[in-house]
Amino acid sequence: MNVKTLLIIEDEAPIRDMINFALAPAGFKLILTGSVAEAERSLAKHIPDLILLDWMLPGTSGIDFAKKLKQNPKTREIPIIMLTAKAEEENKIKGLETGADDYITKPFSPRELTARIKAMLRRGPLVSPDGVIQINQLCIDVNTHQVTINNQLLELTPIEYKLLYFFATHQDRIYSREQLLDHVWGTENYIDERTVDVQVRRLRCRLQTHGYDHYIKTMRGTGYQFTVTNP
């Protein structure tokens, strides 16, 4: 059995104890640290399968450490779940933009924490060592920005590629049109939210030829979600 290793970075001992209590029965190997300095010493010895990272830490903040992790080739592909007491949407977006793959708002239930970690780990390594994201027969080459399905090249515009790449690297979460505009087009571009609908529709049409359009789901009244499930 392949035991998954989780690096926990949380400075509050009661929360560390609660995390340990919640996750130990799930069969994970837990490395508990209380600061970025401790976490860095652990990372120098072993690369974990996932990092659970508190936003507010003494010294280097969780946000700054997430940026650093994503800039390091040795650690940039490790999934990061951010723990935060900052429930405002602006702060959640900031956490995702700086490298977190998911976030959980405090207080959280042990069951939710375990479920979110398991969902993240089920995705497997997001990007292979040669720079390829593999989702069934859909391959995204992050070096050449080429997309193939069943070894057939998928012709995409630059914005369609960026949208697909974002979806593929942020699976299962629901994103509003405004959030997609911020992540894919950038906060400095003033574009109507209807542009998102148009580009998603075009991307779906490209994927439909190969039967992969159902991965992009419209969440009525909310936005869009990319999830690898059966139609």
Do 13 and 106 lie in one domain? The reply is yes
pLDDT in tens, 203-214: 999 999 999 999
Structure tokens at 214: 């159902």
Task: Domain of residue 148: give its range.
Answer: 132-226
Structure tokens at 112: 């939710």
Q: 181 vs 12, 78, 159, 217, CA distance in Å?
A: 35, 25, 11, 17
Residue 216: the pLDDT is: 95
Query: Can you give the CATH number for the domain in which 144 is found?
Result: 1.10.10.10
Answer with the one of 122, 157, 173 that is the final residue of a domain: 122
Answer with the one of 82, 103, 122 that is the final residue of a domain: 122
pLDDT in tens, 152-171: 999 999 999 999 998 988 88
Do 45 and 86 lie in one domain? The reply is yes
pLDDT in tens, 23-49: 888 889 999 999 999 999 999 998 898
Residue 132: the pLDDT is: 83
